[in-house]
Amino acid sequence: MRVVYDSVGQATFAGSLDCLRAAGLLVRFGSASGAVPPFLAARGSLFLTRATLYSYTARREDWEEGAQEPFRRVASGEVKPGTPRTWPLARAAEAHQALEGRKATASIVLVP
């Protein structure tokens, strides 16, 4: 399920988690059967996630959609990729420093 609203608490907490799909949302708003495990109890309103790439690419159609999205944005002009720069392989350390220091805004191609 995309979202689960749970007003019961302890008795339904594990089941509510189990029926969520990847990237789903559990909204707890009551504790009629008791408190849930203490990692949530005293911290107020929180959002907790454990994101993994596999969760977003497990279904073929999700993977294909995600793979096509960057190309769609480039084709529409929304994203304008920079022109790749070539650096001699002997200057690989400098190229890495440029990337790490955010002095390069496009791809760097090392050539022998």
pLDDT digit string, tens, across residues 28-81: 888 888 888 776 656 666 666 666 777 778 889 988 988 898 999 999 999 998
Q: What is the pTM of this model?
A: 0.44
Tell me the average pLDDT across 81-103: 92
Please give the distance of CA 28 from its chain centroid, rounded to a whole number: 23
**Within 10 Å of residue 16's Cβ, how many Cβ atoms?**
20
The yes-or-no verdict on residue 88 having pLDDT over 90 is yes
Q: Could you say which DSSP state residue 1 is in?
A: -
pLDDT at 28 (0 to 100): 82
Residue ranges of the domains in the chain? 3-50, 82-112
